[in-house]
Structure 1
């Protein structure tokens, strides 16, 4: 049986919020967060819960040791959702800044790997 990697054994989890929007770059952001979760780098968490001000999700996010938002396009919906909920101390990666263009970047394993390698260093200095 394979051992599942865990990023969140401590009291202060490392959280990822992906825009997961309707465009291809939103789907790419979603898959990057899922990959990093599967790899034990951090835990993908519910951006809709942030927008809906769900108390348990807000409390867990407040307790996080690190938060990173992954946005697919320059609209920055994930970043803005966190800011609207009062969060200011978090990392942010916009896939458009990595050269992924909306409508021209279907999800592929190579694109997920490239983007994941850009997000993962945001968690490198944490235990």
Structure 2
């Protein structure tokens, strides 16, 4: 897979990991992209909790990617509220439901969408 990074600082993924299929899909896709070296999953809860070190690290990143699974856009809104510059935002319009275990094919599709949005 292509690396989503074009500078010395890594791409940081801020994934929704809410209690739904799309939240878990965002989280699972970003975990796999981190394992593959495409970027680094970073702490969205720390952004929302206003943890100064986490917020400052996010602001220092050259590429912050907000990965939302649904139209509520929690990741995007949390980063905006903390004044973190957002290089890319993604969501994929999959219907939200209570299934917390996305299928592997859906995770692969989400990974591709995230990477396509980082180009």
Regarding TM over 0.5, the answer is yes
Equivalent in 14, 18, 25 of residue 17 of structure 1:
14
**CA separation of 1:35 and 1:69: change in aligned 2, threshold 3 A:** same
For 2:27 and 2:72, the matched residues in 1 are separated by: 16
| Root-mean-square deviation (Å) | 2.1
- Give the TM-score, by structure 1 length: 0.81
Decide whether the 8 Å contact of 1:7 with 1:43 is kept in 2: no
- Worse overlay, 83-92 or 24-33: 83-92
2:66 alignment partner, SS class: strand
Gaps of 5+ in 2: none
Q: CA deviation at 1:123?
A: 4.0
Count of aligned pairs between the two proteins: 115
Asked if the contact 1:18/1:69 (under 8 Å) is kept, the reply is: yes
Residue 13 (structure 1) shift = 2.1
For residues 17-70 of structure 1, the C-alpha deviation after alignment (integer angstroms, 9 at most, x for no partner) is 011001111011110110110110000000000011111111111111201111
Assess if the C-alpha contact under 8 Å between 2:59 and 2:85 holds in 1: no
Query: In the alignment, what sits opposite 1:3?
Result: none
Q: Does 1:67 align with 2:64?
A: yes
Give the Cα–Cα distance (whole angstroms) in 1 for the partners of residues 117 and 10 of structure 2: 14
Distance 1:122 1:56 in 2: 27
The reply to whether residue 101 of structure 1 matches residue 95 of structure 2 is: yes
- Residue 82 of structure 1 deviates from its aligned partner by 0.4
Report the equivalent of 1:121. 116
Tell me, in whole angstroms, the C-alpha distance in 1 between the residues paired with 2:89 and 2:118: 12
- Using a 3 Å threshold, how does the CA distance of structure 1 residues 7 and 115 change in structure 2: closer, same or farther? closer
Aligned counterpart, 1:92: 89
Question: 4+ residue stretches of structure 1 with deviation over 3 A?
Answer: 121-124
